A and B are shown apart, each in its own frame.
Chain A
Amino acid sequence: AQSVTQLDSQVPVFEEAPVELRCNYSSSVSVYLFWYVQYPNQGLQLLLKYLSGSTLVKGINGFEAEFNKSQTSFHLRKPSVHISDTAEYFCAVRFGGGADGLTFGKGTHLIIQP
């Protein structure tokens, strides 16, 4: 079965420190990869996406992610976090080329400590 795994349910980080949120997926088909952020009681906002081309993609708010096909990973990074980055982060994958729904990981709660 196709699945998306976010290994860490919570990641505490001190302000201005770097952070990496991990995402792995299990599939041999073509994939389209996304990271979304969710603030409390709100919808999801797209941070960045990988559709094709360069494996290093840059998104909003200083985030970036790297697609690693051999390791089936799409980890999210930020070199220096801010208190406003406290939120839930979701990795999502579209398997294949159709317009089916996305498969989401269970989310990682990023907690920024002052």
Chain B
Amino acid sequence: DGGITQSPKYLFRKEGQNVTLSCEQNLNHDAMYWYRQDPGQGLRLIYYSQIVNDFQKGDIAEGYSVSREKKESFPLTVTSAQKNPTAFYLCASSTRVYEQFFGPGTRLTVL
């Protein structure tokens, strides 16, 4: 089945730690995205990548980093510089202007 997988589903982080969220897609989409969702805030764009080995900052990139070494994979690292990382993180992919397909999400909690 084609789709987007995110792992883990739940993630706990101690203060000062970096953590990496995985996102994989087998839809053969060129573009991939990371969003952060907070209650009552909608989704906010963290980073996006339109092609392998290239990515751009979104609206709230501070404290996050990404890589795009393979077309299928777009991992997100939440660094210790992100002061309020507790949130629901959603990965998506798309073909240019068409709709984005979303993964099931990772819920990150800071202990």
Interface, chain A (partner B; CB < 8 A): 9, 32, 34, 36, 41-46, 49, 51, 90, 92, 94, 97-107
The distance from the CB of B52 to the nearest CB of chain A, in whole angstroms, is 14
Are B105 and A99 in contact, with the CB atoms below 8 A?
A: no
Q: Is the CB of B50 within 8 A of A44?
A: no
Closest 9 A/B residue pairs (Cβ)? A101-B45, A43-B102, A106-B42, A104-B42, A44-B102, A104-B43, A99-B31, A43-B104, A99-B50
* B90: Cβ under 8 A from any A Cβ: yes
- B108–chain A nearest beta-carbon distance, Å: 13
B71 CB to closest chain A CB (Å) equals: 14
Q: Which residues of A contact B107 (CB under 8 A)?
A: 41
Interface contact B97-A51, CB-CB below 8 Å: yes
Taking a contact as CB atoms under 8 Å apart, the answer to whether B99 and A97 are in contact is: no
A90 close to B97 (CB less than 8 A): no
A-B contact list, 26 entries, CB within 8 Å: A32-B97, A32-B98, A36-B102, A41-B105, A41-B107, A42-B105, A43-B6, A43-B90, A43-B105, A44-B43, A44-B90, A44-B92, A46-B99, A46-B101, A92-B100, A97-B97, A99-B50, A99-B94, A99-B96, A101-B45, A101-B58, A102-B45, A104-B35, A106-B40, A106-B41, A107-B40
Q: Identify which of residues 26-75 in chain B touch chain A, using a CB-to-CB cut-off of 8 Å.
A: 30-31, 33, 35, 40-45, 48, 50, 56, 58
